[in-house]
Amino acid sequence: MNILEIEHCTVCYKNGTPAVSDVTFAVREREIVSIVGESGSGKTTLIRAILGLLPPGGHVTEGKIVFNGMDLVTADDRTLRDIRGRSIAMIFQDVGSSLDPIRRVGIQYREAVCAHEDLTKKSFFTRARDMLARMHLSDPDRVMDAYPFELSGGMKQRVGIAMGMTSAPRLLLADEPTSALDVTIQAQVVSQMKELRDRYGASMILVTHNMGVASYLSDRIGVMKSSRMVEFGTRDDIILRPKDPYTVSLLEAVPKLGGKMYERN
């Protein structure tokens, strides 16, 4: 069953050149799809378009984005508001900068969740605490009482994922969720994202430039280059049997342990 279908989608900014051109793919239930590509390839624009979160001047000019039988491109603001956060949630690259620096994390967490759901204070706290504990944050109460600057980057990122997952969305959009993190913390966050899929059965679209993370987490991978999706297929097809020369060069450029040493002669 497809949960999201993107058909011939084109997104343009004010200057008229498309940031995403004619992209088609679908996400199935319980599936993790990664969109990989280099900066400026349009991958972030693509997932922002799904929730109608394009920066000013950006518009979907052609194509459809169908979620649950409904076209999100033509949906009105109210429908989109209902979907955002509840059915489709989003995690951004730098959660730290999307938190208000002078308010405690718990208040902001509650605000985000209660925008979509009617919850009493008590039931919110039970759920939030449970969610933070699942993200392996050892002391959820301390985290809720803390100001953002009191938490490390990895902790804030996990709070962001917990906030996104609290309303148990059917689809999670993650825009470079681990790029700002150190490798050991990245490994922790990646393992928790995998656990979320296994436990909640949420589908995910993961935008990343880290081929290793995409390879580990994804069921299917799409490769984008200068606004087009040059290749889309199962993880094994893309990683082990890439067809497009761009995918091949991208895979070759990734430094690997035990891989090539740069020539010294």
Partner 1 sequence: MSGTELDRKGSDKDQEGETLLCVEHVSKVFPVKKRRLTAVDDVSLTLYKGEMLGVVGESGCGKSTLAKIIAGSLKATSGRVTLNGIEYPKLKGTAAKNHRRNIQMVFQDPLSSFSPRMKIGTYLSEPRRNYDHLPRSEAWREAGALLEQVGLPASFLDRFPHELSGGQLQRVAIARAIAIDPPLLICDEATGALDVSIQDQIAALLVRLIKERNIGCLFIGHDPALVRSISNRVAVMYLGRVVELMPSRLLEKEHRHPYTGALLDSIFDVYCDQSAEIRLLEGEPPSPLRLQSGCAFAPRCPQCTERCRRTVPELKDIGGGHFVACVET
Determine if 156 is a binding residue for partner 1 (CB under 8 A): no
For residue 151, the minimal CB distance to partner 1 (Å) is 10
Q: Which residue of 2, 68, 97, 249 would you call a contact of partner 1, by CB under 8 A?
A: 249
Q: Residue count at the site for partner 1 (CB under 8 A)? A: 42
Strands 59-67 and 2-12, bridge-based pairing? antiparallel
Cβ closest to partner 1, residue 146 vs residue 187: 187
DSSP at 84: B
The residue from 130, 152, 201, 241 that contacts partner 1 (CB under 8 A) is 152
Min separation Cβ 163 and partner 1, Å: 20
In the bound state with partner 1, the residue whose beta carbon lies nearer, of 125 and 216, is 216
CA distance linking residue 242 with residue 45, whole number of Å: 24
Complex with partner 1: residue 1 or 253, whichever CB lies closer: 253
Least distance CB 107 / partner 1 (angstroms): 24
Q: What is the DSSP string of 135-156?
A: TT-S-HHHHHHS-GGGS-HHHH
Say if strands 18-28 and 2-12 run parallel, antiparallel, or are unpaired: antiparallel
Q: Which of 42, 34, 22, 54 is nearest to 234 (CA)?
A: 34
Q: Which of 123, 147, 122, 144 is nearest to 133 (CA)?
A: 144
Q: Which stretch binds partner 1 (CB under 8 A): 83-91, 99-107, 117-125, 249-257?
A: 249-257
Binding status of residue 162 toward partner 1 by CB under 8 A: no
Shortest approach of partner 1 to residue 198 CB, angstroms?
12
Sheet of strand 59-67: strand arrangement:
18-28, 2-12, 59-67, 70-71
* Cα Rg of the chain (Å, integer): 19
- Return residues touching partner 1 (CB under 8 A): 38-39, 152, 154-155, 182-188, 190-191, 209-213, 215-217, 235, 239-240, 249-265
